[in-house]
Structure 1
Amino acid sequence: METTVRLRAQAGVAARPRVTLAQPDTSDVDTARPRRFGARSRVVTAAACLVLGLGLIGGAAAGSWLTEESDDGTRDAYSVTGALWHSVPVDQLFPPTLHGPGAGPGGADRTWTRIAVAPDSGCKDAFDPLLSTALAPAGCLRLLRATYLDATRSHVTTVGLLFTRADAAAMRALHHRFKDEGLDRRTDLMPRPYAVPDTAAAAFGDAQRASWAISVLTDAPVVVYAVSGFADGRPVSEPQPAAQARKTGATTAPAQAGLGHEAAGVADRVEARLRRTVTSATEKPS
């Protein structure tokens, strides 16, 4: 049953829209009981039980998420991550507020407020065609996205978590390809933003993309990315990857405005929260 998320207006932030999720919805932290993306899939549970019952404790095959345990009873981090998209509260992965001590230009502190959460979805039309092609070897299990506004209301940043269908070997191969071939730095492989009417990101479209970061994880079947732009909707003629825009002496508009720091800062913190969530999910019960 589809439910609805109302993102509550916060002081100084535009009223937030109603966002319909394909799974049970979520609410802001500390104001209500956490609502979840959805219950754990029965198919995953059945598959895990079958494998354990046969005594075949192995890595998850591509397209399957089978939970395994080590000798000390801990669950394998890689094999459980694929189920997180529907079993973890949205606020745990995309909190209403992200804090970035020292994350801005010159080591300045940054704070970002969530203004929109996209319905969890597949990957159709979520990426430019060339980026879709580059990511295709990993497959698309589910895509989660949220958009944040900085404290000055000058910049907007969309962050995404692409849960893939790939196994560990395929994720390592994709990671090395992105790094070795510089795919994470190509302007024709920028992620797309998530814009919502009646928010500060209403005009955040493809032409407004200014800086971005893409991280293909090797210890989890996830691709983390973020793309930033100006909140006033101005187009950017010379976008620059975050790694370059953050370098000392960079003179492009994204670099001068600190948009490389915005993309990298939001992506890094969401990735860190994902890793903490995985660690918690795989710890041996007391």
Structure 2
Amino acid sequence: MEKILSVKNLTKKFKRVVVNNISFDVERGNVYGLLGPNGSGKSTTFGMLLSTINPTSGDWFWFGKKGTTSETLKKIGAIIEQPNFYPYLSAETNLKIVAEIKGTPYARIDEVLSIVKLLERKKDQFKTYSLGMKQRLAIASALLNNPEVLILDEPTNGLDPEGIIQIREIIGTIAKQGITIIIASHLLDEIEKICSHVIVLKEGNAIYSGRVDEITTNTGFFELKADNNTSLLAALEELQWFTSVKIEGEIIKAQIRDDASISASGLNQKLSEKGIFLSHLAKKKQSLENQFLELVKTN
């Protein structure tokens, strides 16, 4: 698949190292999450990729060309700060101003307002909009020039649950159009629902880069129950397939080793050979949130 962005050993130092020698690729047509706690270097990384912050060292390539040129920026829509519109003007008029700046025809305005579900409110003043509506208008503004890449920095920050769901649905609609999306966020549940790929940052270091479904299946656990949980616990510990085995109420949770390959049916057969018959057995994967917390926890 075509690489739309390739980052090589990117570093930024202020008084301290904010981004430390990170490398990752972004392939066309996917939704990427740049995930990390506050201060992990997400916004600084975006700033360098959009040439608003000068890197200390390293390179990046948009569409196979080094750096970020004016021609490259025409292919990118970005929201990296709070929406900045004229409060007493309507959404439509605000977008006309943006269209003039971007050299985009007014005909795109109704189209992008429809995508973000604000078409019926286009005549209303910006100051009357809720926070979620303001954020959706910002996304509409970023879409005006029909970009190949959309960059969103904390797009659901401060929104209520309904607003978060609306942004999630809009991102899904945009992704279906083939636009590559890169989202910076610390809202782990949302990244898991929205993104196909994730880059995890910790203190400026990229500690994981890959598919979301791979990070969430690297480790998993079994939930088990038998008439005699004491015997079941002992049998599980004997198998040495698990990093931990513990009782939580009436359920035993067995954490699978990274190098262990065991199915639920295989485990059930092994236990039945030992005379242990299960009344409950379920194999589950850790959520992205649990995986993320494990990755970024302080050693």
Larger Rg: 2
Name the one with the larger strand percent: 2
Tell me the TM-score normalised to structure 2 length. Answer: 0.25
Tell me the TM-score normalised to structure 1 length. Answer: 0.26
Which of the pair has the greater relative contact order for Cα pairs under 8 Å at 6+ separation?
2
